Amino acid sequence: MDFKKYVTDKLKELTGLDEQVISSSLETPPDEKMGDLAFPCFVLAKVMRKAPPIIASELAQKFENDEIIDKAQAAGGYLNFFFNRAKYASELISAINRAPEAWGKSDIGEGKTVLVEYSSPNIAKPFHIGHLFSTAVGNSLARIYKHLGYNVQSLNHLGDWGTQFGKLICAYKRWGDKEVIEKDPINELLKIYVKFHEEAADNPSLEDEAREYFKRLEDGDEETTSLWSYFREVSLKEFQRVYDMLGVKFDSYNGEAFYSDKMDEVVDILRKKGLLVESEGAQVVDLSDKNMPPCIILKSDGATIYATRDIAAALYRHRTYNFDKNIYVVGNPQALHFKQIFEVMRRADWEWSEGCTHVGFGLVKLPGKNMSTRHGDVVFLEDVLNESIEKTREIIEKNSPDMEDKDEKAKKIGIGAILYTFLKNSRDKDIIFSWDSMLDFEGESAPYCQYGYARGKSILRRAADIDYSDADMSKAVSDDEYTLIKQLNSFSSAVLDAADKNEPFYINRYVTGLTKAFNKFYNTCPIMKSDVDLETKKARLALVDAVCRVIKTALYLLGIETVESM
Ligand code: ARG
Protein backbone atom coordinates (compact mmCIF):
# COMPACT_ATOMS: atom_id res chain seq x y z
CA MET A 1 0.00 0.00 0.00
CA ASP A 2 1.00 3.58 -0.56
CA PHE A 3 1.41 5.17 2.85
CA LYS A 4 1.64 8.68 1.53
CA LYS A 5 -1.57 8.20 -0.37
CA TYR A 6 -3.21 6.91 2.77
CA VAL A 7 -2.24 10.04 4.68
CA THR A 8 -3.28 12.26 1.79
CA ASP A 9 -6.72 10.67 1.56
CA LYS A 10 -7.30 10.91 5.25
CA LEU A 11 -6.22 14.55 5.40
CA LYS A 12 -8.47 15.30 2.48
CA GLU A 13 -11.39 13.82 4.34
CA LEU A 14 -10.56 15.80 7.47
CA THR A 15 -9.76 19.16 5.94
CA GLY A 16 -11.53 19.26 2.61
CA LEU A 17 -8.31 20.43 0.98
CA ASP A 18 -7.54 19.47 -2.58
CA GLU A 19 -5.67 16.17 -2.94
CA GLN A 20 -3.01 17.76 -5.12
CA VAL A 21 -2.39 20.51 -2.55
CA ILE A 22 -2.00 18.00 0.25
CA SER A 23 0.27 15.59 -1.51
CA SER A 24 2.53 18.32 -2.80
CA SER A 25 2.88 19.87 0.64
CA LEU A 26 3.66 16.61 2.44
CA GLU A 27 7.37 16.56 3.26
CA THR A 28 9.93 14.18 4.59
CA PRO A 29 11.00 15.54 7.99
CA PRO A 30 14.62 16.63 8.18
CA ASP A 31 15.30 14.23 11.04
CA GLU A 32 14.02 10.66 11.24
CA LYS A 33 13.14 11.16 14.88
CA MET A 34 10.45 13.56 13.70
CA GLY A 35 8.60 10.83 11.87
CA ASP A 36 8.10 9.59 8.34
CA LEU A 37 6.00 12.34 6.84
CA ALA A 38 5.18 15.91 7.83
CA PHE A 39 2.23 18.06 6.88
CA PRO A 40 2.71 21.81 7.25
CA CYS A 41 -0.60 23.18 8.51
CA PHE A 42 0.05 26.74 7.40
CA VAL A 43 -2.04 26.30 4.27
CA LEU A 44 -5.06 25.76 6.51
CA ALA A 45 -4.61 28.79 8.77
CA LYS A 46 -6.56 31.17 6.56
CA VAL A 47 -9.58 29.00 5.85
CA MET A 48 -9.84 27.67 9.36
CA ARG A 49 -9.02 31.01 11.01
CA LYS A 50 -6.81 29.29 13.53
CA ALA A 51 -3.13 29.27 14.31
CA PRO A 52 -1.25 26.41 12.59
CA PRO A 53 -0.07 24.79 15.88
CA ILE A 54 -3.67 24.55 17.04
CA ILE A 55 -4.78 23.04 13.74
CA ALA A 56 -1.91 20.56 13.96
CA SER A 57 -2.83 19.34 17.40
CA GLU A 58 -6.53 19.11 16.55
CA LEU A 59 -5.75 17.03 13.48
CA ALA A 60 -3.34 14.87 15.48
CA GLN A 61 -6.21 13.69 17.67
CA LYS A 62 -8.09 12.42 14.66
CA PHE A 63 -5.32 9.91 14.00
CA GLU A 64 -5.58 8.20 17.37
CA ASN A 65 -6.23 4.46 17.13
CA ASP A 66 -5.27 4.44 13.47
CA GLU A 67 -4.09 1.10 12.13
CA ILE A 68 -1.66 2.50 9.64
CA ILE A 69 -0.40 5.54 11.48
CA ASP A 70 1.11 4.70 14.85
CA LYS A 71 1.33 8.26 15.95
CA ALA A 72 0.48 11.70 14.62
CA GLN A 73 2.28 14.39 16.54
CA ALA A 74 1.92 18.16 16.42
CA ALA A 75 5.23 20.01 16.36
CA GLY A 76 4.76 23.74 15.96
CA GLY A 77 2.75 24.24 12.79
CA TYR A 78 3.61 20.80 11.54
CA LEU A 79 1.80 17.54 11.89
CA ASN A 80 4.28 14.67 11.94
CA PHE A 81 3.24 11.14 11.05
CA PHE A 82 4.89 7.97 12.29
CA PHE A 83 3.94 4.94 10.22
CA ASN A 84 3.22 1.56 11.69
CA ARG A 85 6.68 0.17 11.05
CA ALA A 86 5.73 -3.50 10.97
CA LYS A 87 3.02 -2.90 8.38
CA TYR A 88 5.26 -0.70 6.34
CA ALA A 89 8.11 -3.18 6.43
CA SER A 90 6.09 -6.24 5.55
CA GLU A 91 4.28 -4.55 2.65
CA LEU A 92 7.50 -3.26 1.21
CA ILE A 93 9.69 -6.31 1.63
CA SER A 94 7.13 -8.68 0.26
CA ALA A 95 6.52 -6.39 -2.72
CA ILE A 96 10.24 -6.35 -3.54
CA ASN A 97 10.91 -10.01 -3.03
CA ARG A 98 7.75 -11.05 -4.86
CA ALA A 99 8.66 -9.21 -8.05
CA PRO A 100 12.22 -7.93 -7.77
CA GLU A 101 12.59 -7.01 -11.45
CA ALA A 102 9.59 -4.76 -11.16
CA TRP A 103 10.91 -2.70 -8.27
CA GLY A 104 11.31 0.95 -9.15
CA LYS A 105 9.64 0.31 -12.49
CA SER A 106 6.88 2.44 -13.81
CA ASP A 107 4.66 2.63 -16.84
CA ILE A 108 5.11 6.35 -17.43
CA GLY A 109 6.99 5.52 -20.60
CA GLU A 110 4.42 3.20 -22.07
CA GLY A 111 3.83 3.86 -25.74
CA LYS A 112 6.58 6.48 -25.84
CA THR A 113 9.86 6.28 -27.71
CA VAL A 114 13.12 7.73 -26.47
CA LEU A 115 16.22 7.83 -28.62
CA VAL A 116 19.48 8.02 -26.73
CA GLU A 117 22.41 8.92 -28.91
CA TYR A 118 25.72 8.39 -27.19
CA SER A 119 29.36 7.38 -27.54
CA SER A 120 29.62 8.40 -31.21
CA PRO A 121 33.39 8.11 -31.64
CA ASN A 122 35.22 9.03 -34.83
CA ILE A 123 36.44 6.42 -37.29
CA ALA A 124 40.21 5.99 -37.43
CA LYS A 125 40.63 8.18 -34.37
CA PRO A 126 41.14 7.08 -30.79
CA PHE A 127 38.10 6.42 -28.70
CA HIS A 128 38.96 8.94 -26.05
CA ILE A 129 37.94 9.58 -22.50
CA GLY A 130 35.21 12.06 -23.50
CA HIS A 131 33.59 9.35 -25.57
CA LEU A 132 33.73 7.12 -22.52
CA PHE A 133 31.95 9.78 -20.47
CA SER A 134 29.25 9.92 -23.14
CA THR A 135 29.06 6.13 -23.21
CA ALA A 136 28.69 5.89 -19.43
CA VAL A 137 25.94 8.52 -19.25
CA GLY A 138 24.14 7.38 -22.39
CA ASN A 139 24.13 3.71 -21.55
CA SER A 140 22.82 4.49 -18.10
CA LEU A 141 20.08 6.77 -19.44
CA ALA A 142 19.03 4.12 -21.94
CA ARG A 143 18.67 1.60 -19.12
CA ILE A 144 16.83 4.08 -16.90
CA TYR A 145 14.29 4.94 -19.60
CA LYS A 146 13.76 1.26 -20.31
CA HIS A 147 13.12 0.69 -16.62
CA LEU A 148 10.39 3.29 -16.84
CA GLY A 149 8.66 1.50 -19.67
CA TYR A 150 9.85 3.62 -22.61
CA ASN A 151 10.69 2.09 -25.93
CA VAL A 152 14.38 2.99 -26.09
CA GLN A 153 16.69 3.02 -29.08
CA SER A 154 20.42 3.39 -28.46
CA LEU A 155 22.10 5.20 -31.33
CA ASN A 156 25.78 5.52 -32.12
CA HIS A 157 26.23 8.49 -34.44
CA LEU A 158 29.67 7.52 -35.70
CA GLY A 159 31.95 10.24 -37.02
CA ASP A 160 32.54 8.45 -40.30
CA TRP A 161 32.26 11.21 -42.88
CA GLY A 162 33.99 14.45 -43.77
CA THR A 163 36.96 15.81 -45.66
CA GLN A 164 39.39 14.14 -43.26
CA PHE A 165 38.63 10.86 -45.00
CA GLY A 166 40.07 12.29 -48.21
CA LYS A 167 43.27 12.93 -46.28
CA LEU A 168 43.29 9.50 -44.73
CA ILE A 169 42.78 7.81 -48.08
CA CYS A 170 45.55 9.91 -49.57
CA ALA A 171 47.84 8.99 -46.68
CA TYR A 172 46.95 5.33 -46.98
CA LYS A 173 47.66 5.27 -50.69
CA ARG A 174 51.10 6.69 -50.02
CA TRP A 175 52.24 5.12 -46.79
CA GLY A 176 49.65 2.58 -45.75
CA ASP A 177 50.68 -0.98 -45.02
CA LYS A 178 47.72 -3.24 -44.57
CA GLU A 179 49.64 -5.79 -42.56
CA VAL A 180 50.86 -3.21 -40.06
CA ILE A 181 47.46 -1.58 -39.83
CA GLU A 182 45.72 -4.86 -39.21
CA LYS A 183 47.72 -5.34 -36.02
CA ASP A 184 46.81 -2.04 -34.36
CA PRO A 185 44.38 -0.32 -36.71
CA ILE A 186 43.42 2.93 -35.04
CA ASN A 187 46.91 3.69 -33.85
CA GLU A 188 48.43 3.02 -37.25
CA LEU A 189 45.76 4.95 -39.12
CA LEU A 190 46.30 7.82 -36.73
CA LYS A 191 50.02 7.70 -37.47
CA ILE A 192 49.63 8.02 -41.22
CA TYR A 193 46.99 10.71 -40.72
CA VAL A 194 49.44 12.71 -38.62
CA LYS A 195 52.12 12.11 -41.22
CA PHE A 196 49.79 13.51 -43.87
CA HIS A 197 49.59 16.81 -41.99
CA GLU A 198 53.35 16.96 -41.51
CA GLU A 199 54.03 16.29 -45.18
CA ALA A 200 51.28 18.60 -46.38
CA ALA A 201 52.93 21.49 -44.57
CA ASP A 202 55.82 21.26 -47.07
CA ASN A 203 53.84 19.96 -49.98
CA PRO A 204 50.46 21.72 -50.25
CA SER A 205 49.51 19.74 -53.34
CA LEU A 206 48.71 16.87 -50.99
CA GLU A 207 45.71 18.85 -49.82
CA ASP A 208 44.40 19.01 -53.38
CA GLU A 209 44.95 15.32 -53.74
CA ALA A 210 43.00 14.69 -50.52
CA ARG A 211 40.15 16.90 -51.70
CA GLU A 212 40.02 14.90 -54.91
CA TYR A 213 39.83 11.66 -52.94
CA PHE A 214 37.00 12.92 -50.80
CA LYS A 215 35.17 14.05 -53.92
CA ARG A 216 35.55 10.55 -55.33
CA LEU A 217 34.27 9.13 -52.09
CA GLU A 218 31.24 11.39 -52.22
CA ASP A 219 30.63 10.32 -55.80
CA GLY A 220 30.63 6.69 -54.77
CA ASP A 221 33.86 5.71 -56.52
CA GLU A 222 34.53 2.06 -55.90
CA GLU A 223 38.13 2.06 -54.73
CA THR A 224 37.84 4.98 -52.30
CA THR A 225 34.55 3.65 -50.97
CA SER A 226 36.05 0.28 -50.26
CA LEU A 227 38.99 1.88 -48.43
CA TRP A 228 36.56 3.97 -46.41
CA SER A 229 34.55 0.84 -45.50
CA TYR A 230 37.74 -0.88 -44.51
CA PHE A 231 38.71 1.96 -42.14
CA ARG A 232 35.24 1.95 -40.72
CA GLU A 233 35.20 -1.77 -40.21
CA VAL A 234 38.57 -2.04 -38.46
CA SER A 235 37.75 0.93 -36.26
CA LEU A 236 34.38 -0.50 -35.30
CA LYS A 237 36.05 -3.75 -34.39
CA GLU A 238 38.23 -1.89 -31.92
CA PHE A 239 35.33 0.12 -30.54
CA GLN A 240 33.41 -3.10 -30.18
CA ARG A 241 36.08 -4.47 -27.86
CA VAL A 242 35.49 -1.53 -25.55
CA TYR A 243 31.71 -1.86 -25.80
CA ASP A 244 31.97 -5.55 -24.94
CA MET A 245 34.07 -4.75 -21.90
CA LEU A 246 31.45 -2.25 -20.80
CA GLY A 247 28.45 -4.40 -21.70
CA VAL A 248 27.11 -1.68 -23.97
CA LYS A 249 24.92 -2.42 -27.00
CA PHE A 250 23.58 -0.21 -29.75
CA ASP A 251 20.52 -0.57 -31.92
CA SER A 252 22.03 1.50 -34.70
CA TYR A 253 25.47 2.55 -35.89
CA ASN A 254 24.19 4.93 -38.53
CA GLY A 255 26.90 7.53 -38.54
CA GLU A 256 27.36 10.76 -40.38
CA ALA A 257 27.98 8.98 -43.67
CA PHE A 258 24.52 7.48 -43.54
CA TYR A 259 23.06 10.96 -43.82
CA SER A 260 25.33 12.20 -46.59
CA ASP A 261 22.70 11.51 -49.23
CA LYS A 262 19.86 12.86 -47.12
CA MET A 263 21.02 16.44 -46.97
CA ASP A 264 19.75 17.79 -50.26
CA GLU A 265 16.25 17.55 -48.93
CA VAL A 266 17.20 19.54 -45.84
CA VAL A 267 18.81 22.23 -47.96
CA ASP A 268 15.67 22.31 -50.10
CA ILE A 269 13.33 22.60 -47.15
CA LEU A 270 15.35 25.36 -45.54
CA ARG A 271 15.58 27.23 -48.82
CA LYS A 272 11.83 26.99 -49.45
CA LYS A 273 11.16 28.27 -45.94
CA GLY A 274 13.32 31.25 -46.83
CA LEU A 275 15.76 30.51 -44.05
CA LEU A 276 18.94 30.39 -46.10
CA VAL A 277 20.97 33.50 -46.72
CA GLU A 278 24.27 33.87 -48.48
CA SER A 279 27.28 34.79 -46.43
CA GLU A 280 30.77 34.87 -47.94
CA GLY A 281 29.65 32.41 -50.55
CA ALA A 282 28.21 29.98 -48.01
CA GLN A 283 24.53 29.27 -47.36
CA VAL A 284 23.72 29.93 -43.73
CA VAL A 285 20.78 30.41 -41.37
CA ASP A 286 21.20 33.74 -39.66
CA LEU A 287 20.73 33.39 -35.90
CA SER A 288 21.97 36.80 -34.82
CA ASP A 289 18.65 37.66 -33.15
CA LYS A 290 19.32 34.76 -30.80
CA ASN A 291 22.87 35.95 -30.20
CA MET A 292 24.31 32.96 -31.95
CA PRO A 293 26.69 32.73 -34.87
CA PRO A 294 25.05 31.68 -38.15
CA CYS A 295 24.46 28.00 -38.69
CA ILE A 296 26.35 27.04 -41.85
CA ILE A 297 24.35 24.67 -44.04
CA LEU A 298 26.37 24.65 -47.27
CA LYS A 299 29.98 25.73 -47.52
CA SER A 300 31.13 28.04 -50.27
CA ASP A 301 32.45 25.09 -52.27
CA GLY A 302 29.05 23.45 -52.03
CA ALA A 303 30.22 20.83 -49.53
CA THR A 304 27.90 20.04 -46.68
CA ILE A 305 28.93 19.92 -43.09
CA TYR A 306 28.45 18.50 -39.62
CA ALA A 307 25.42 20.63 -38.76
CA THR A 308 23.61 19.75 -41.97
CA ARG A 309 24.19 16.07 -41.39
CA ASP A 310 22.83 16.45 -37.88
CA ILE A 311 19.71 18.18 -39.14
CA ALA A 312 19.20 15.44 -41.73
CA ALA A 313 19.72 12.85 -39.00
CA ALA A 314 17.08 14.44 -36.77
CA LEU A 315 14.56 14.45 -39.63
CA TYR A 316 15.36 10.83 -40.43
CA ARG A 317 14.95 9.84 -36.80
CA HIS A 318 11.62 11.61 -36.58
CA ARG A 319 10.37 9.76 -39.64
CA THR A 320 11.83 6.42 -38.62
CA TYR A 321 11.00 6.36 -34.93
CA ASN A 322 8.45 9.11 -34.40
CA PHE A 323 10.27 9.80 -31.15
CA ASP A 324 8.99 11.59 -28.08
CA LYS A 325 12.52 12.39 -27.01
CA ASN A 326 15.72 12.49 -29.00
CA ILE A 327 18.59 12.81 -26.56
CA TYR A 328 22.16 13.70 -27.60
CA VAL A 329 24.73 12.77 -24.99
CA VAL A 330 27.64 14.89 -26.20
CA GLY A 331 30.22 16.98 -24.32
CA ASN A 332 29.51 20.56 -23.36
CA PRO A 333 31.94 22.03 -25.93
CA GLN A 334 29.26 21.16 -28.52
CA ALA A 335 26.45 22.91 -26.65
CA LEU A 336 26.37 25.80 -29.11
CA HIS A 337 26.22 23.46 -32.09
CA PHE A 338 23.11 21.81 -30.68
CA LYS A 339 21.50 25.10 -29.78
CA GLN A 340 22.03 26.23 -33.35
CA ILE A 341 20.62 23.15 -35.04
CA PHE A 342 17.64 23.00 -32.67
CA GLU A 343 16.89 26.62 -33.49
CA VAL A 344 17.14 25.95 -37.23
CA MET A 345 14.73 23.03 -36.87
CA ARG A 346 12.33 25.16 -34.88
CA ARG A 347 12.38 27.75 -37.65
CA ALA A 348 11.68 25.03 -40.17
CA ASP A 349 8.44 24.53 -38.20
CA TRP A 350 9.35 21.00 -37.23
CA GLU A 351 7.26 20.84 -34.09
CA TRP A 352 8.62 17.44 -33.19
CA SER A 353 12.07 19.01 -32.76
CA GLU A 354 10.96 20.13 -29.31
CA GLY A 355 11.71 16.59 -28.24
CA CYS A 356 15.40 17.06 -29.05
CA THR A 357 17.63 17.60 -26.03
CA HIS A 358 21.34 18.03 -25.68
CA VAL A 359 22.60 16.26 -22.57
CA GLY A 360 26.07 17.67 -22.02
CA PHE A 361 28.88 16.82 -19.65
CA GLY A 362 32.10 18.27 -18.32
CA LEU A 363 35.74 17.58 -19.00
CA VAL A 364 37.79 14.67 -17.74
CA LYS A 365 41.22 15.15 -16.31
CA LEU A 366 43.42 12.13 -16.14
CA PRO A 367 45.98 11.72 -13.40
CA GLY A 368 48.78 12.78 -15.72
CA LYS A 369 51.88 10.68 -15.56
CA ASN A 370 50.30 7.94 -13.51
CA MET A 371 48.32 6.86 -16.52
CA SER A 372 50.34 4.40 -18.51
CA THR A 373 49.64 4.25 -22.20
CA ARG A 374 51.10 1.99 -24.77
CA HIS A 375 50.50 4.69 -27.35
CA GLY A 376 52.59 7.60 -26.21
CA ASP A 377 50.77 10.90 -25.88
CA VAL A 378 47.27 9.82 -26.72
CA VAL A 379 45.45 8.14 -23.88
CA PHE A 380 43.65 5.20 -25.33
CA LEU A 381 40.55 4.28 -23.55
CA GLU A 382 41.15 0.61 -23.60
CA ASP A 383 44.39 1.25 -21.72
CA VAL A 384 42.52 3.13 -19.02
CA LEU A 385 40.04 0.30 -18.60
CA ASN A 386 42.80 -2.27 -18.52
CA GLU A 387 44.77 -0.30 -16.01
CA SER A 388 41.77 -0.14 -13.72
CA ILE A 389 41.31 -3.88 -14.03
CA GLU A 390 44.98 -4.52 -13.29
CA LYS A 391 44.98 -2.27 -10.26
CA THR A 392 41.86 -3.98 -8.95
CA ARG A 393 43.53 -7.32 -9.52
CA GLU A 394 46.48 -6.16 -7.40
CA ILE A 395 44.20 -5.02 -4.59
CA ILE A 396 42.40 -8.36 -4.63
CA GLU A 397 45.69 -10.24 -4.64
CA LYS A 398 46.84 -8.26 -1.64
CA ASN A 399 43.65 -8.32 0.41
CA SER A 400 41.97 -11.57 -0.54
CA PRO A 401 44.51 -13.91 -2.13
CA ASP A 402 42.10 -16.83 -1.80
CA MET A 403 39.26 -15.28 -3.74
CA GLU A 404 37.81 -17.36 -6.57
CA ASP A 405 37.52 -16.12 -10.16
CA LYS A 406 39.85 -13.21 -9.51
CA ASP A 407 40.17 -12.19 -13.14
CA GLU A 408 36.47 -12.12 -13.77
CA LYS A 409 35.85 -10.12 -10.61
CA ALA A 410 38.71 -7.70 -11.20
CA LYS A 411 37.09 -6.94 -14.54
CA LYS A 412 33.66 -6.21 -13.13
CA ILE A 413 35.02 -4.19 -10.24
CA GLY A 414 37.68 -2.32 -12.21
CA ILE A 415 35.26 -1.31 -14.94
CA GLY A 416 32.50 -0.58 -12.45
CA ALA A 417 34.88 1.74 -10.63
CA ILE A 418 35.38 3.83 -13.75
CA LEU A 419 31.71 3.98 -14.69
CA TYR A 420 30.80 4.98 -11.16
CA THR A 421 33.27 7.86 -11.29
CA PHE A 422 31.57 9.30 -14.37
CA LEU A 423 28.16 9.04 -12.77
CA LYS A 424 29.05 10.25 -9.32
CA ASN A 425 28.25 13.93 -9.71
CA SER A 426 26.01 16.00 -11.90
CA ARG A 427 27.14 15.70 -15.51
CA ASP A 428 28.27 19.28 -15.87
CA LYS A 429 31.02 18.91 -13.33
CA ASP A 430 34.54 18.22 -14.54
CA ILE A 431 36.01 14.96 -13.39
CA ILE A 432 39.47 14.32 -12.07
CA PHE A 433 40.36 10.68 -12.22
CA SER A 434 42.03 9.41 -9.11
CA TRP A 435 42.77 5.74 -8.78
CA ASP A 436 42.81 6.06 -5.01
CA SER A 437 39.25 7.25 -4.67
CA MET A 438 37.96 5.24 -7.61
CA LEU A 439 39.22 2.00 -6.09
CA ASP A 440 38.62 2.89 -2.46
CA PHE A 441 36.63 -0.08 -1.24
CA GLU A 442 35.52 1.89 1.79
CA GLY A 443 34.73 5.23 0.22
CA GLU A 444 32.03 6.29 -2.20
CA SER A 445 32.89 4.00 -5.06
CA ALA A 446 31.59 1.14 -7.15
CA PRO A 447 33.66 -1.42 -5.22
CA TYR A 448 32.07 -0.14 -2.01
CA CYS A 449 28.56 -0.84 -3.33
CA GLN A 450 29.62 -4.09 -4.98
CA TYR A 451 31.16 -5.16 -1.71
CA GLY A 452 27.96 -4.38 0.19
CA TYR A 453 26.05 -6.52 -2.28
CA ALA A 454 28.53 -9.40 -2.06
CA ARG A 455 28.39 -9.26 1.71
CA GLY A 456 24.61 -9.55 1.64
CA LYS A 457 24.79 -12.45 -0.78
CA SER A 458 27.26 -14.28 1.40
CA ILE A 459 24.86 -14.05 4.36
CA LEU A 460 22.06 -15.41 2.19
CA ARG A 461 24.27 -18.29 1.10
CA ARG A 462 25.03 -19.14 4.71
CA ALA A 463 21.31 -19.14 5.42
CA ALA A 464 20.43 -21.25 2.42
CA ASP A 465 18.38 -23.71 4.46
CA ILE A 466 16.23 -21.10 6.18
CA ASP A 467 12.92 -20.31 4.51
CA TYR A 468 12.22 -16.65 5.18
CA SER A 469 9.43 -16.20 2.65
CA ASP A 470 6.90 -15.90 5.48
CA ALA A 471 9.05 -13.65 7.67
CA ASP A 472 7.26 -11.56 10.26
CA MET A 473 8.69 -8.14 9.51
CA SER A 474 7.65 -6.73 12.88
CA LYS A 475 10.87 -8.39 14.05
CA ALA A 476 13.00 -6.06 11.98
CA VAL A 477 11.89 -2.55 12.76
CA SER A 478 14.59 -1.13 15.01
CA ASP A 479 15.83 2.30 13.96
CA ASP A 480 18.67 1.02 11.78
CA GLU A 481 16.45 -1.57 10.17
CA TYR A 482 13.65 0.86 9.58
CA THR A 483 15.99 3.44 8.05
CA LEU A 484 17.19 0.79 5.63
CA ILE A 485 13.65 -0.27 4.78
CA LYS A 486 12.66 3.29 4.04
CA GLN A 487 15.67 3.68 1.77
CA LEU A 488 14.42 0.77 -0.29
CA ASN A 489 11.23 2.66 -0.85
CA SER A 490 12.92 5.73 -2.32
CA PHE A 491 14.39 3.79 -5.22
CA SER A 492 11.54 4.65 -7.57
CA SER A 493 11.83 8.37 -6.95
CA ALA A 494 15.58 8.19 -7.62
CA VAL A 495 14.85 6.53 -10.97
CA LEU A 496 12.19 9.10 -11.84
CA ASP A 497 14.46 12.00 -10.90
CA ALA A 498 17.29 10.53 -12.95
CA ALA A 499 15.08 10.33 -16.04
CA ASP A 500 13.47 13.69 -15.44
CA LYS A 501 16.81 15.50 -15.32
CA ASN A 502 18.73 13.05 -17.51
CA GLU A 503 21.09 12.68 -14.56
CA PRO A 504 22.12 9.13 -13.65
CA PHE A 505 23.86 10.47 -10.58
CA TYR A 506 20.54 10.41 -8.70
CA ILE A 507 20.74 6.65 -8.87
CA ASN A 508 24.42 6.66 -8.01
CA ARG A 509 23.74 8.73 -4.92
CA TYR A 510 20.83 6.50 -4.07
CA VAL A 511 22.68 3.21 -4.26
CA THR A 512 25.61 4.60 -2.30
CA GLY A 513 23.25 5.74 0.46
CA LEU A 514 21.48 2.42 0.45
CA THR A 515 24.77 0.57 0.81
CA LYS A 516 25.78 2.86 3.66
CA ALA A 517 22.52 2.16 5.46
CA PHE A 518 23.00 -1.53 4.81
CA ASN A 519 26.48 -1.49 6.33
CA LYS A 520 25.18 0.28 9.39
CA PHE A 521 22.45 -2.32 9.75
CA TYR A 522 24.99 -5.07 9.20
CA ASN A 523 27.13 -3.76 12.03
CA THR A 524 24.33 -3.28 14.54
CA CYS A 525 21.94 -6.13 13.74
CA PRO A 526 23.47 -9.59 13.91
CA ILE A 527 21.81 -12.12 11.66
CA MET A 528 23.41 -15.53 11.74
CA LYS A 529 24.73 -15.38 15.29
CA SER A 530 23.55 -18.27 17.45
CA ASP A 531 21.75 -16.06 19.97
CA VAL A 532 19.48 -14.51 17.35
CA ASP A 533 16.05 -16.14 17.48
CA LEU A 534 14.70 -17.72 14.32
CA GLU A 535 11.91 -15.18 13.73
CA THR A 536 14.33 -12.26 13.92
CA LYS A 537 16.75 -14.12 11.70
CA LYS A 538 14.06 -14.63 9.09
CA ALA A 539 12.97 -11.02 9.13
CA ARG A 540 16.55 -9.81 8.78
CA LEU A 541 17.25 -12.27 5.99
CA ALA A 542 14.21 -11.08 4.08
CA LEU A 543 15.52 -7.56 4.47
CA VAL A 544 19.02 -8.51 3.29
CA ASP A 545 17.52 -10.24 0.28
CA ALA A 546 15.49 -7.19 -0.67
CA VAL A 547 18.51 -4.89 -0.23
CA CYS A 548 20.65 -7.09 -2.47
CA ARG A 549 18.03 -7.09 -5.18
CA VAL A 550 17.70 -3.34 -5.12
CA ILE A 551 21.48 -2.71 -5.09
CA LYS A 552 21.82 -5.01 -8.07
CA THR A 553 19.09 -3.29 -10.04
CA ALA A 554 20.37 0.18 -9.17
CA LEU A 555 23.92 -0.71 -10.21
CA TYR A 556 22.58 -2.26 -13.39
CA LEU A 557 20.91 1.05 -14.22
CA LEU A 558 24.35 2.64 -13.95
CA GLY A 559 25.83 -0.02 -16.22
CA ILE A 560 27.73 -1.58 -13.32
CA GLU A 561 27.82 -5.31 -12.71
CA THR A 562 27.73 -7.05 -9.36
CA VAL A 563 29.79 -9.98 -8.12
CA GLU A 564 28.34 -12.65 -5.88
CA SER A 565 31.27 -12.78 -3.51
CA MET A 566 34.25 -10.59 -2.82
N1 ARG B 1 31.72 12.30 -33.38
C2 ARG B 1 31.57 13.47 -32.57
C3 ARG B 1 32.81 13.71 -31.74
O4 ARG B 1 33.56 12.79 -31.48
C5 ARG B 1 30.39 13.40 -31.66
C6 ARG B 1 29.06 13.27 -32.36
C7 ARG B 1 27.97 13.83 -31.56
N8 ARG B 1 26.65 13.63 -32.11
C9 ARG B 1 26.06 14.36 -33.00
N10 ARG B 1 24.84 14.01 -33.39
N11 ARG B 1 26.59 15.44 -33.50
O12 ARG B 1 33.05 14.82 -31.32
Establish whether residue 224 lines the binding site of ligand 1, counting it when its CB lies within 6 angstroms of any ligand atom. no
For residue 159, which atom of ligand 1 is closest to its CA? Answer: 1
Going by pLDDT thresholds of 50, 70 and 90, the confidence category of residue 392 is very high
256: Cβ below 6 Å to ligand 1? Answer: no
Asked if residue 330 has its Cβ within 6 Å of ligand 1, the reply is yes
Tell me which residues are annotated as active site.
125, 128, 131
Please give the distance, rounded to the nearest whole angstrom, from the Cα atom of residue 213 to the centre of ligand 1.
Answer: 23
- pTM equals 0.94
Looking at the predicted structure, is the pLDDT value of residue 377 above 60? no
Structural Rg of the chain based on CA atoms? 29
- Indicate if the pLDDT at residue 374 is higher than 60: no
- Residues 308-322 pLDDT 10s: 999 999 999 999 999
pLDDT tens, residue by residue, 2-17: 899 999 999 999 999 9
| Terminal-residue alpha carbon distance, the chain | 36
More confident residue, 47 or 248: 248
For the segment 449-466, the average pLDDT, to the nearest whole number, is 97
Q: Are 329 and 137 in contact (CB under 8 A)?
A: yes
% of the chain beyond a pLDDT of 70: 97
Q: Is the CB of 122 under 6 A from ligand 1?
A: yes
Structure confidence by residue, pLDDT tens digits, 208-249: 999 999 999 999 999 999 999 999 999 999 999 999 999 999
Q: Which residues contact 246 (CB under 8 A, 6 or more apart)?
A: 135, 136, 139, 385, 415, 419, 559
282-285 and 295-298 as β-strands: parallel, antiparallel, unpaired? Answer: antiparallel
CA of 351 to the centre of ligand 1 (A): 23
Ligand 1 in contact with 157 (CB < 6 A)?
yes
What separation in Å is there between the alpha carbon of 342 and the centre of ligand 1?
Answer: 15
Average pLDDT, the chain: 94
**158 CA to centre of ligand 1 in angstroms:** 7
Q: Which residue among 334, 340, 353 is best mutated to probe the pocket of ligand 1, counting the most ligand atoms within 8 A of its Cβ?
A: 334
- pLDDT tens digits for 91-150? 999 899 888 888 889 889 999 999 999 999 999 988 888 899 999 999 999 999 999 999
CA–CA–CA angle 157, 160, 161 (5° rounding): 115
Give the sheet arrangement for strand 69-75, strand by strand: 37-40, 78-83, 69-75
To test the pocket of ligand 1, the residue of 330, 345, 363, 381 to mutate (highest count of ligand atoms within 8 Å of its CB) is 330
Cα of 434 to ligand 1 centre, how many Å? 27
The CB of 78 under 6 Å from ligand 1? The reply is no
